[in-house]
Amino acid sequence: MKIKTPLILINFKTYSQATGRNALNLAKICEAVAKQHGASIAVAPQLADAQRIAEVVEIPVLAQHIDNVQPGSHTGFVLPEAVKEIGLAGSLLNHSEHRIRLDVIEDSIQRLKKLELASIVCSNNIPTTSAMASLGPDFVAIEPPELIGSGISVSDAQPEIIEGAVKAVQRITKKIPVLCGAGITKGADVKKSIQLGAKGVLVASGVVKAEKPEKVLTEFVKYMQA
């Protein structure tokens, strides 16, 4: 499933509001807003919830991580082939809450490409954004870790990191869209991120923990499409 831009990617993390039945309900809300407004919205639930969600919704469902191990004697890992088998569209890699080595990122991107799965590689500053872009993922997502979950939007607190990341990637290739995340809670945060050159946003608590996720998502979409 192709992932279009501008993109709103909701990372469910391990929030209880996005676990089990709650995850399925939230994914259905994301799908409904995407369909109602013709917007590109994707979700990244925990793997335990992913297959049930992918079988029900028609928006891209992504893993939050995959492991670059081969089939065989490995315990507690997740094969990219297993993610493909359950109908996911790709995976996040190297989120600041699940960092992996650069060589593993490189191999994982190639494994995902071979399976026609999208790779969204996370970075935490401009130099790491350049490094990730040089590995040829489908997306790079820059997120200053200190703003994650803060409610202080990266587009307000560190606009230069979004602009700098976009320029850094464009110096390598024009083909890799840059997403940004951390602290995004309002439509204005999404609009400013796009104005700064991002092709979408990566959001967790602003939607997952919202009283009315549908209301927040609809505001994101309206500001993104304005």
Contacting positions for ligand G3P (CB under 6 A): 11, 95, 143, 148-149, 181-184, 202-206
Among 95, 116, 146, 219, which one carries the catalytic annotation? 95
Query: Mapped to the 3 state alphabet, what secondary structure does 79-104 carry?
Result: CHHHHHHCCCCEEEECCCCCCCCHHH
143 is catalytic: yes
Residue 160: active-site member: no
Tell me the torsion sign for CA atoms 169, 146, 88, 17. negative
Tell me the helix, strand and coil percentages in the chain, rounded to 5.
45, 15, 40
Between 148 and 217, CB nearer to ligand G3P:
148
Strands (E), 37-185: 40-44, 62-63, 90-93, 118-123, 139-142, 178-181
Nearest distance from C-beta of residue 218 to ligand G3P, angstroms? 17
Q: Quick one: 24 or 180, whose CB is closer to ligand G3P? A: 180
Catalytic option among 31, 65, 106, 143: 143
Residues 126 and 164: beta-carbon distance below 8 Å: yes
- Least distance from C-beta 113 to ligand G3P, angstroms? 22
Cβ-based nearer residue to ligand G3P, 167 or 209: 209
Q: Which residues does residue 181 pair with via DSSP β-bridges, in sequence order? A: 202
Tell me the closest approach of the beta carbon of residue 182 to ligand G3P, in angstroms: 5
Nearer Cβ to ligand G3P (140/184): 184
* Shortest distance (Å) from residue 17 CB to ligand G3P: 12
- Residues labelled as active-site residues: 95, 143
